């Protein structure tokens, strides 16, 4: 008696047995979206100015108080080498995200993707210091580590601050000027904080030193005042029918940019809606509300 190939196929599952795949990845358990706090994603790349990170963190905690700010720190492998030379350690409660963390929570298609979850979580990305190497990667679209992957996948509705720190001859190099010009012209959600002239760690004197860390803190606070962020009890989480938390903050307490426009968590569907509304009102092409006159030429 012959047996057909079809006789060896498994029986299809009944509709009740079929699994429903989630539409988007699950939120990362360590990155709550709707806690009412200002979410600062602070990043450091390979420069000795990375030792200023603890000072930035300490000052922000004093200004906002821990009840109003949450800070996550992303470091490149080069930046991490400088942190032990800092005058003070980072608070134990702050997590350092490294390249290796990209794969710690991912094993299946519905698992959190770290660089996407960090982007969804943040109200602002501050890269201070920004090395010449990371500047080149950002302007060229490279994304070979956790930090540059987050930048490449960034939501243009959310601002990025870059604080370059490099040798004078690196900063004055024509390639650097071309890269900064490209960012200024093509990426309006990114603002470059012009470096300062000083005696550099290498002994050279000239432009290229990172903007004073206290000035950077003042810029952040001026754009995101502590009073804009309610306490956790004042905010209701937004959860869809699939049990997934949305990126957009509660509409009663939206974090706003310099022009009073929403700069908080926005999903892709909201971006499309915003683009459609902009085309109808003729507001396309206007500058990003966060961007002002700090760009470097």
DSSP structural state of residue 73: E
**Residue 202 known to be catalytic:** yes
Phi, psi of 34 (to 5 degrees): -110, 60
* Structure tokens given for 124: 């602002």
The span from the CA of 288 to the CA of 297, in Å, is: 18
Question: Is residue 131 within 8 Å of residue 166, measured between CB atoms?
Answer: yes
In Å, the largest CA–CA distance within the chain is 91
Question: Is residue 116 within 8 Å of residue 158, measured between CB atoms?
Answer: no
Out of 1, 202, 241, 251, pick the active-site residue: 202
The span from the CA of 16 to the CA of 77, in Å, is: 48
The span from the CA of 8 to the CA of 3, in Å, is: 8
Strand spans (E) along the chain: 38-44, 69-75, 96-97, 124-130, 160-164, 190-192, 196-199, 205-209
Catalytic residue numbers read 202
């Amino acid at each position: 008696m012959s047996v057909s190939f079809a006789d060896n196929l498994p029986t299809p599952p009944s509709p009740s047995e079929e699994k429903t795949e989630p539409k988007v990845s699950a939120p990362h358990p360590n990155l709550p979206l709707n806690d009412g706090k200002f979410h600062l994603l602070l990043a450091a790349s390979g420069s000795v100015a990375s030792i200023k990170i603890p000072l930035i963190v300490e000052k922000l905690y004093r200004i906002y108080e821990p009840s109003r700010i949450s800070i996550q720190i992303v470091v490149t492998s080069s930046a991490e080498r400088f942190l032990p030379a800092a005058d003070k350690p980072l608070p134990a409660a702050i997590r350092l995200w490294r390249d290796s963390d990209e794969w710690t929570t991912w094993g299946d298609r519905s698992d959190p993707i770290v660089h996407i979850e960090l982007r969804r979580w943040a109200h602002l990305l501050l890269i201070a210091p920004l090395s010449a190497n990371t500047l080149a990667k950002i302007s060229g679209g490279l994304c070979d580590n956790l930090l540059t992957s987050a930048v490449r996948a960034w939501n243009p509705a959310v601002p990025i601050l870059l604080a370059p720190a490099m040798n004078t001859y690196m900063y004055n190099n024509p390639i650097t000027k071309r890269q900064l010009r490209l960012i200024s012209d093509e990426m309006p959600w990114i603002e470059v904080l012009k470096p300062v002239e000083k005696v550099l760690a290498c002994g050279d004197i000239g432009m290229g030193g990172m903007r004073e860390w206290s000035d950077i803190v003042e810029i952040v606070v001026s754009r995101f005042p502590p009073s804009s962020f309610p306490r956790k009890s004042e905010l209701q989480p937004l959860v869809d029918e699939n049990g997934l938390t949305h990126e957009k903050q509660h509409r009663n307490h939206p974090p706003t940019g310099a022009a009073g426009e929403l700069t908080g968590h926005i999903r892709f569907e909201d971006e499309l809606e915003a683009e459609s509304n902009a085309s109808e009102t003729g507001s396309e092409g206007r500058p990003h509300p966060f961007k002002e006159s700090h760009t470097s030429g």
